[in-house]
Amino acid sequence: MNIYIGNLNYRVRESDLQQILEEYGTIDSVKLVLDRETRRSKGFAFVEMPNDAEAKNLIKELDGAEYEGRQMVVREATPRN
For residue 16, how far is the Cα from the chain centroid? 10
Domain annotation for the chain: domains and CATH numbers: 2-76 (3.30.70.330)
Which is nearest to 67 in space by CA: 33, 44, 42, 40? 44
User: Could you report the per-residue pLDDT of 1-17, keeping only the tens digit for each?
Assistant: 999 999 999 999 999 99
pLDDT at residue 79, rounded to an integer: 84
Q: What is the pTM of this model?
A: 0.93
Q: What is the mean pLDDT of residues 35-64?
A: 97
